[in-house]
C-alpha cells in the first residue's frame, strides 16, 4: 500500500492540521489545488468514519482514489513524500522547521555560520544508542556531525549546532531502519535536541510498517490509540507504553509530535452537606450510610484556581440552620426540610455561637 495513503490518514486525525490547514485559503481558478483536494477527502472521510462499523477497505480505497492525482505519490521514501506534500500546501508556514546551522570548533572555539535550512520533516539517521540517557539524546547524537576545523594549525573537531528559530506546533521525525517502536517515547522535549525554548510535545501519530504500511494515532475524543491498516480498525489502550509493546513487530517510519493541550479537568470536593439541593445532574454526590441515620453529602464543584476569578462563597444565616438544609455552590441556597440533621461540624459552630 502507498505510504501517502497512511500519511493522509494520519493528517486527517491530527486535529491541529485538519482544522487549520485551509484557514484563509480561497481558490482563484479551476486548476488542481492540493488544499481543495484535501478538503474534499477530509469531508468524505468524516462521513465514512461516522458509520457504526466503518469498512477499512473502503476507506483505504477512498484515500487512494483521491491521492492518485498527486504527482509526488510515486516516491517510495515516506519522508520525501511528506516533505513534497507539505511544500505543495502554500499556507502551512506554521509547520515549517526553521534551522540555523552553526559550526563551532571544540578546540579553538572558532564559530562559522553554515546555512539556514527550512524543512518539514527531520530525518533521524544512525543506529540507536544502547543505554542512552534519554530519547532526545539519541536523536541529538544522530543529528550531530564531526568535521575537522578549517582554521590553520588547529586539529580540533567542529560540531554543528542546530538552532530552531521557529516553534512549530507539529514536529515530524523520520526514523532510520535501526529504530524500533519500543524506542519511541510519548513525550518529546525539543529543547534537549535543538537550541530552542520550545515546550514539550506529545506523540499523536506514527507511520509504521511490517509488510505493508499502517498507522497508529491517538484519538483525542475517545482518549485511546487506534490502529488502522487496509484490513482492520482496532481500538487499543490509552497508554502509549502498552501500545508499543503490543506492536513491537512493526518498525516506526515517521513520528508526529504535536503540541496537544490537555483538557482542564474540574476539581470535585465532597462536603458533608446536602446531596439533593436541586443543582442538576452535573453535581456529584455520595451517600454514607450509618446504623443510626442516613447522612447525605453534597458536592462543591469549582474550576481550577484562577487569579482573575477568585472563588467567593457567601456566608449562610447560621440562625436558620436548625431546621434547614444548606447547599454551597458559589452561593447559598436554603431549602425547607423538617427531617434534616445538621452535620457535627455545623452543630459545633452553632454551639459556639449559642444558637
pLDDT per residue over 157-176, tens digit each? 777 777 777 777 888 888 88
Question: What pLDDT score does 264 carry?
Answer: 34
Q: Which residues contact 97 (CB under 8 A, 6 or more apart)?
A: 117, 118, 119, 120, 122, 164, 166, 168, 171
CATH number of the structural domain spanning residue 115 = 3.90.70.10
261, 293, 311 - which closes a domain: 261
Half-sphere exposure (CA, 13 Å, Cβ side) for 104?
10
Does one domain contain both 182 and 229?
A: yes
Helices (H), 88-239: 135-143
Boundary residue ending a domain (238, 261, 284)? 261
Q: Which residues of the chain have pLDDT under 50?
A: 262-314, 316, 318, 321-335
pLDDT value of residue 127: 66
Residues 284 and 208 in one domain: no
Provide the pLDDT for residue 240: 92
Same domain as 289, residue 231: no
pLDDT at 70 (0 to 100): 65
Q: For position 259, what pLDDT does the model report?
A: 80
Verify that 284 and 232 share a domain, yes or no: no
pLDDT of residue 106: 79
Assess whether 255 and 271 both reside in one domain: no
Shared domain check, 217 and 114: yes
Say if residue 188 is in the same domain as residue 293. no
The answer on 174 and 65 residing in a single domain is yes
Domain containing 83 equals 1-22+31-261
Provide the pLDDT for residue 69: 66
Q: Name the residue with cell 510519548.
A: 186
Grid cell, residue 139, equals: 536523536
Contact between residue 63 and residue 45 where contact means Cβ atoms under 8 Å apart: yes
Please tell me whether residues 85 and 117 are part of one structural domain: yes
Average pLDDT along the chain: 69
Picking from 261, 293, 324, the residue at the C-terminal end of a domain is 261
Same domain, yes or no, for 183 and 276?
A: no
pLDDT score, position 74: 56
- Cα(355)–Cα(335) distance, rounded to whole angstroms? 19
Q: Does one domain contain both 255 and 312?
A: no
User: Does residue 201 sit in the same domain as residue 273?
Assistant: no
pTM: 0.65
Q: What gap in Å lies between CA 303 and CA 102, rounded to an integer? A: 47
pLDDT value at residue 225: 92
C-alpha 8/C-alpha 62 separation (Å) is 11
What is the count of structural domains for the chain?
2
Write down the residue that cell numbers 513524500 correspond to: 81
> Do the Cβ atoms of 146 and 157 come closer than 8 Å?
yes
Amino acid at each position: 500500500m502507498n505510504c501517502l495513503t497512511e500519511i493522509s490518514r494520519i493528517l486527517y486525525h491530527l486535529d491541529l492540521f485538519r482544522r487549520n490547514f485551509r484557514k484563509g485559503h480561497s481558490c482563484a481558478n479551476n486548476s488542481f489545488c492540493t488544499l481543495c483536494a484535501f478538503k474534499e477527502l477530509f469531508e468524505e472521510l468524516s462521513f465514512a468514519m461516522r458509520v457504526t462499523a466503518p469498512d477499512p477497505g473502503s476507506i483505504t480505497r477512498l484515500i487512494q482514489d483521491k491521492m492518485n492525482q498527486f504527482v509526488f505519490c510515486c516516491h517510495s521514501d515516506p519522508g520525501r513524500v511528506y516533505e513534497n506534500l507539505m511544500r505543495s500546501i502554500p499556507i502551512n508556514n506554521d509547520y515549517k522547521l526553521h534551522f540555523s546551522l552553526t559550526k563551532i570548533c571544540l578546540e579553538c572555539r572558532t564559530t562559522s555560520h553554515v546555512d539556514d535550512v527550512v524543512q518539514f520533516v527531520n530525518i533521524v539517521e544512525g543506529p540507536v544508542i544502547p543505554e542512552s540517557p534519554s530519547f532526545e539524546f539519541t536523536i541529538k547524537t544522530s543529528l550531530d556531525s564531526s568535521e575537522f576545523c578549517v582554521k590553520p594549525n588547529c586539529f580540533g573537531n567542529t560540531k554543528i549546532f542546530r538552532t530552531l528559530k521557529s516553534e512549530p506546533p507539529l514536529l515530524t521525525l523520520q526514523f532510520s531502519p535501526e529504530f524500533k517502536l519500543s524506542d519511541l517515547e510519548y513525550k518529546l522535549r525539543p529543547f534537549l535536541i535543538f537550541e530552542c525554548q520550545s515546550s514539550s510535545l506529545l506523540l499523536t501519530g506514527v507511520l509504521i510498517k511490517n509488510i505493508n504500511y499502517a498507522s497508529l494515532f491517538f484519538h483525542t475524543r475517545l482518549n485511546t490509540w487506534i490502529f488502522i491498516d487496509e484490513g482492520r480498525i482496532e481500538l487499543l489502550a490509552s497508554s502509549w507504553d502498552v501500545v508499543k509493546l503490543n506492536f513491537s513487530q512493526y518498525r516506526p517510519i515517521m513520528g508526529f509530535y504535536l503540541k496537544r493541550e490537555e483538557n482542564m479537568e474540574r476539581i470535585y470536593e465532597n462536603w458533608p452537606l446536602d446531596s439533593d439541593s436541586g443543582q442538576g445532574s452535573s453535581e456529584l454526590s455520595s451517600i454514607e450510610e450509618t446504623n443510626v441515620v442516613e447522612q447525605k453529602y453534597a458536592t462543591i464543584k469549582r474550576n481550577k484556581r484562577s487569579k482573575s476569578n477568585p472563588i467567593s462563597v457567601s456566608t449562610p444565616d447560621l440562625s436558620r440552620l436548625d431546621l434547614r438544609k444548606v447547599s454551597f455552590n458559589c452561593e447559598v441556597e436554603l431549602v425547607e426540610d423538617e427531617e434534616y440533621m445538621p452535620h457535627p461540624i455545623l452543630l459545633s459552630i452553632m454551639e459556639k455561637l449559642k444558637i
